[in-house]
Structure 1
Amino acid sequence: MERLRQLRRAKDVMDRDWADPHLDLDAVAAHAGYSRYHFLRAFKEVYGETPGQYLSRRRIERAEDMLRSADLSVTEICMLVGFSSVGTFSSTFKRQTGLTPSEYRTRHVGRGAALIPGCYAMLWAGGFPARGARDEARNSEEAG
């Protein structure tokens, strides 16, 4: 029972801090009181996926919401949901949804309410990323 409580505590951290790009296996394992390798095995045994897979799935779910509802660029959404690389975000998104982020937006926008202006969405999501991260993302997007 204690083991489940510890794993649930770590899962709650991922559910709460999913957008933090610094949230990694070591940080989450520490919340559970496990070494990273023991935590990885225990989490997968209980939840059927690794902590990294779980966190990526949560981030992509949030990105799907933002792509449907917010007038933000793919790069801005990438940064807001905790990815530091547009390429990694796009490939993970496509692997989980079968569509690129742009294809997903094209398919789903217009089927509900109007898009929330980007400035409001950014404020709601915790503000704009630091200038260095924003410039790095822009350079990655332009290169790809």
Structure 2
Amino acid sequence: MGLEQVVHLRRARDHMDAHYADPLKVGDLAAVAGFSRYHFVREFRVAFGETPAAYLSRRRVERAMDLLAHANLTVTEVCMVVGFSSLGSFSRRFRELVGCSPSEYRSRTSPPVIPGCIVWAWARPRGATLDKQVPGDGA
């Protein structure tokens, strides 16, 4: 495989990284690389060790791991945000790559969720008085 082919394959891989949540088709990715569909899949596997579909789903799962650990989204919302079309395929691929379900991963990696009412109660100032008169209050 020549250097020029690798450059074109990287262009397609970069396109997948930038648009991982979009519904990407092999034909469109092949066009980005300037290859036919079948030649693209074959050369992508040789260059990167996995098919374009496997690479894309792995990148989506990596992004989902971050969202599950840090975002206040349901597993279904994360599934859709990262570009999977069904919760079943997302959960299956997630378990294949990570070794546990998305819900298990979330419970292992994120701190417990604190209800908003508790946060507001603890964040409210206690016993604070206004030292200065507010303009226009009539006093």
* TM-score of Structure 1 vs Structure 2, range by shorter chain: 0.7 to 0.9
Q: Which has the higher contact order (CA 8 A, sep 6+)?
A: 1
User: What do the CA deviations read for 1:5-60 (whole angstroms, capped 9, x no partner)?
Assistant: 1101101100100011x212111111001111100000000111111111111000
Q: Percent identity, aligned pairs only?
A: 53
Structure 2-normalised TM-score?
0.77
Larger radius of gyration: 2
Paired residue for 2:87?
A: 86
**Alpha-carbon distance between aligned partners in 1 of 2:64 and 2:27, rounded to the nearest angstrom:** 24
Amino acid at match of 1:48: G
Q: Higher helix share goes to which structure?
A: 1
Paired residue for 2:132?
A: none
The alpha-carbon deviation at position 70 of structure 1 amounts to: 0.6
Number of equivalent positions? 113
The alpha-carbon deviation at position 62 of structure 1 amounts to: 0.2
| Residue pairs, 1:1-80, within 5 angstroms | 1-20=3-22, 22-80=23-81
User: What do the CA deviations read for 1:103-131 (whole angstroms, capped 9, x no partner)?
Assistant: 000111129xx89x9xxxxxxxxxxxxxx
Paired residue for 1:95?
A: 96
Q: Which runs of 4+ in 1 moved over 4 A?
A: none
**Alpha-carbon distance between aligned partners in 1 of 2:76 and 2:36, rounded to the nearest angstrom:** 33
Amino acid at match of 2:45: K
Structure 1-normalised TM-score?
0.75
**Alpha-carbon distance between aligned partners in 2 of 1:103 and 1:4, rounded to the nearest angstrom:** 38
The alpha-carbon deviation at position 94 of structure 1 amounts to: 0.4
**Alpha-carbon distance between aligned partners in 2 of 1:105 and 1:74, rounded to the nearest angstrom:** 9
Q: Which runs of 5+ in 2 are unaligned?
A: 117-139
